[in-house]
Amino acid sequence: MYLTEVKTSDIIGKQFRYKFKSYIGVFSSLVIIQLLGLLFSLSGSRFSSSSAVGYQVDVQYYTVDIVMIFTIFWGFMSAMLLTTKAYREDDFAFITNRFSSNLSTIAFLAVISLIGSLTAVLSGFLLKVVVYLVESEPLLSLNRGGIASTYSLEILGAFVVVFLFATLGYAAGMIIQLHRLFIVVLPAIFLGGSVWVATFDVPIDLFHFYFQEANFLLFLLKMVGTAGVLCAVAMLIANRLEVKR
Amino acid sequence: MDVIKCEDVTKTYRRRKALDQVSFSIGENKLVGLVGRNGAGKTTLMKVLAGMLRESSGRVEVFSRRPFNDLTVSANSIFIDDEMNFPPTMTLVELLQEGRRFYQNWDHELAMKLFEYFNLPSKARHQDLSKGMQSTFNMIIGLCARCPLTIFDEPTTGMDSVVRQDFYRALLKDYLAHPRTILVSTHYLNEMEEILEEVVLLDKGQLVLQMPIDELNEFTIRLSGKKDVLERWIQGKEVLLTKETGHDDQSVILKNSFSAEERQEMKRSGVHVSSVSASDACIYATSPKGGVDHVFDRSEDK
Amino acid sequence: MILETDGIKPIYVQISEWIENEILNGNLQKDEKVYSQYKLADMYNINPATAAKGLTRLANEGILYDKRGLGKFVASEAKAIITEKRKNQTVKQLLHDLVLEAKQLGMSEDEIHERLKEVWRVENGRD
């Protein structure tokens, strides 16, 4: 009997393409959520005013922080969605095993995280244009020289954060697939943990550890490293999951 | 070489045993029917063979490999059932193109011809189709993938009888042109027994029998005649079903262990001997003693 | 031929009997190649293994012979074997059934003889 020999990398590539077509819906939700974020950003995020005798200076800050936060949330939710039965078993119609299926999904998450952060950062330009058209007051650009490298660093930074949350969503989704009870247990652990940290002044400051790292390289390393661990957790779980259809 | 080999395969869901120590094997290039009543374990067995479910104990081998999580098994086998999960974002034709990208032996020309023959709407999406149309589409994927092991679980769900006949014909034709191992579960054994080589019968998670279809056709026999005459012949034999057919007449179904001479002798003594079809034989071999009539008998006594 | 699928007679027996008929009525000459199991399977919509069983049955009875790699062919003595077999099996069985039925109806041996002669005359007169 002649058996077809397949290369795992080859199948992962095919699955990646297949997933791009089949999960195309994540992009429409990205557009919606980022436009929504932009809408919120239009009112300006910070406001400061100072006055002296005879005149007053009102400074309104416009940033795409809200778009960024929405994009992170979108990454988390999209990843979680992919672990649900309707999506997770899509590739079992064709050639797959759990390893290739997971790797192609993670690759897909990485790519959509990159696209999401790219559009989030670029939405800053859109915001400026809109504000320019809407506001009658003069616009000042702050500490953004418009240098390409600044933007690429910003995109890279945004990407690792969005990807981290995507893998977090993926791992959490997989844990929930393991047992329904985790839908309740996971948020409970998270909330309980935060309350515990806050009330007892436990010296674990995750926020500080991840997001206030001054060294950019170290920041990248922490992000990517954590994402890797989360992916490994998700894959370990997925390896045990049966296909129920 | 055996394409499928199971030894004492058990699959437990929580506490229920869906498969209970099933042992059997299927040789290369056979077209085999898997039959049994609802809940007999057919789907579970097929999913274990396709590597979707993991056996709880025992040994499962497909192409001499354990199918769960095996990429080679996945590349060389396809499992088609009526719950195929296709993304709602792709049209039927796009799905066929995906099949072509994934499966090395895929016959795209045949796929498109069948697609046209069955009048499937090319722009439609899988979930827009009726149940029967979905089954037809799934069947096309299953056939055209040309996998060395092709598994169909109730492929004719929702199909009308014309399409069913077309499917059986298409399956046989493609099998003749490209021999491969095909396992089909069906509730319509009488409709497709002619194209099968073997039948595997499951009941309550256990293997009841596995035999060539023409042996199964002669496996059980129906005797009818006067009770006292029949008594002599059925004494000490395992009777599968007894039916009163008149004041003093009886019809019984039992395993056919009679020689040609004995059957001649029976005819002489006034017993009517008739054959039992393979699908009826499967029904009698797996239905509760006395059939549903028995339930009504008891309630009448009370 | 149309296959009887009511299970009275196994499919492979029907296949072999059909080939026998083809030989008897001269559609298949001696040393002519008979249909392959795949051709038969396609013609009658049956599993090729069933068709093969029908062919093997004929080969075992000496009606067909094998040419390695080429298929099965009609043996020179095929017609004689079939005729002899049918006399001994088919006709014998029919006669058995006839006598059984006659006995049930209380017919005498002479009556059967008479009726048989009558049918014989009618059938021969037709030719």
What is the per-residue pLDDT for B135?
95
- Decide: B282 and B201 in contact? Cβ < 8 Å: yes
Q: Does B122 touch chain C (CB under 8 A)?
A: no
Report the range out of A193-202, B44-53, B267-276 with the highest average pLDDT. B44-53
Domain shared by C59 and C91, yes or no = no
Domain shared by C45 and C100, yes or no = no
What is the per-residue pLDDT for B195?
94
Q: Give just the sign of the alpha carbon dihedral C83, C85, C88, C91.
A: negative
Which CATH number characterizes residue C66's domain? Answer: 1.10.10.10
Is C6 close to B268, i.e. CB distance below 8 A?
Answer: no
* Chains contacting C (3+ CB pairs below 8 angstroms): B
Give the residue on B whose Cα is nearest the Cα of A99: B69
Is B195 close to C45, i.e. CB distance below 8 A?
Answer: yes
Which of B169, B173, B214 is facing C12, going by the closest CB pair? B214
User: CA of B87, closest CA in chain A: separation in Å?
Assistant: 5
Q: A135-149, B140-154, B190-204, B211-225 — which is least confidently predicted?
A: A135-149
Condensed to tens digits (0 to 9), the pLDDT of residues A220-239 reads 888 889 999 999 999 998 88
DSSP conformation letters of C47-67? -HHHHHHHHHHHHHTTSEEEE
User: Three-state SS for A66?
Assistant: helix
Residue C5 belongs to a domain = no
pLDDT at B238 over 70: yes
Nearest to B255 by CA among B237, B271, B267, B274: B237
Domains of chain C: total: 2
With helix as H, strand as E and coil as C, how does B83-134 read? CCCCCCCCEHHHHHHHHHHHCCCCCHHHHHHHHHHCCCCCCCEHHHCCHHHH
* Sequence-separated (6 or more) residues with CB below 8 Å from residue B106: B99, B100, B144, B145, B146
- Decide: B147 and A3 in contact? Cβ < 8 Å: no
Chain B interface disruption, residue of C47, C56, C97, C99, most B CBs within 10 A: C47
What is the per-residue pLDDT for B83?
84
List strand residue ranges (DSSP E) for chain B, in order: 2-13, 16-27, 31-35, 57-62, 77-80, 149-153, 181-185, 198-203, 206-212, 220-226, 239-244, 249-255, 272-275
Distances (CA, A) of B58 to A123, B10, B36, B137: 58, 6, 21, 35
- Decide: B241 and B291 in contact? Cβ < 8 Å: yes
What is the per-residue pLDDT for A45?
63
Average pLDDT along chain A, 245 residues, taken 10 residues at a time: 86 92 90 90 71 76 85 93 83 86 93 93 83 74 63 87 94 88 85 78 69 81 90 88 72
Q: What ipTM, to 2 d.p.?
A: 0.84
Residue C3 belongs to a domain = no
Low-confidence ranges of chain C (pLDDT < 50): none
Nearest to B25 by CA among B56, B66, B62: B62
User: CA of A160, closest CA in chain B: separation in Å?
Assistant: 28
Domain shared by C107 and C59, yes or no = no
N- to C-terminal Cα separation, chain A: 30
Buried b (16+ CB within 10 A) or exposed e, B205-224: bebebbbbbbebbebbbbbb
For chains C and A, tell me whether 3 or more CB atom pairs sit within 8 A of each other. Answer: no
Residues in A 15-74 with any Cβ partner in B closer than 8 A: 17-18, 21-25
The full set of domain ranges for chain A reads 8-45+56-178+213-240
Residue C2 belongs to a domain = no
Is A2 close to B148, i.e. CB distance below 8 A?
Answer: yes
Distance CA B218, CA A89 (A): 43
What is the per-residue pLDDT for B302?
43
| Among candidate residues C41, C57, C76, the one where a domain is terminated | C76
Q: State pTM to two decimals.
A: 0.86
The letter for the amino acid at C101 is E
Mean pLDDT of B55-63: 94
Domain shared by C43 and C99, yes or no = no
* Sequence-separated (6 or more) residues with CB below 8 Å from residue A62: A41, A42, A44, A45, A127, A128, A131
Percentage with pLDDT > 70 across chain B: 96
Domain shared by C67 and C37, yes or no = yes
Nearest to B26 by CA among B70, B75, B76, B63: B63
Give me the domain span that covers residue C20. Answer: 11-76
What is the per-residue pLDDT for B61?
95
User: CA of C28, closest CA in chain B: separation in Å?
Assistant: 24
Domain shared by C48 and C83, yes or no = no
Q: Does B265 touch chain C (CB under 8 A)?
A: no
Domain shared by C53 and C87, yes or no = no
What is the per-residue pLDDT for A145?
55
Residue C6 belongs to a domain = no
Residue C4 belongs to a domain = no
Which residue did the predictor score with more confidence, B202 or B237?
B202
Distance CA A5, CA A19 (A): 22
Buried b (16+ CB within 10 A) or exposed e, A154-164: bbbbbbbbbbb
Distance CA B253, CA C6 (A): 17
- Decide: A25 and A86 in contact? Cβ < 8 Å: no
Buried b (16+ CB within 10 A) or exposed e, B117-153: ebebeeeebbeebeebbbbbbbbbbbbbbbbbbbbbb
Residues in C 11-50 with any Cβ partner in B closer than 8 A: 11-12, 38, 41-42, 44-50
- Decide: A100 and A93 in contact? Cβ < 8 Å: no
What is the per-residue pLDDT for C62?
92
Distance CA C66, CA C37 (A): 13
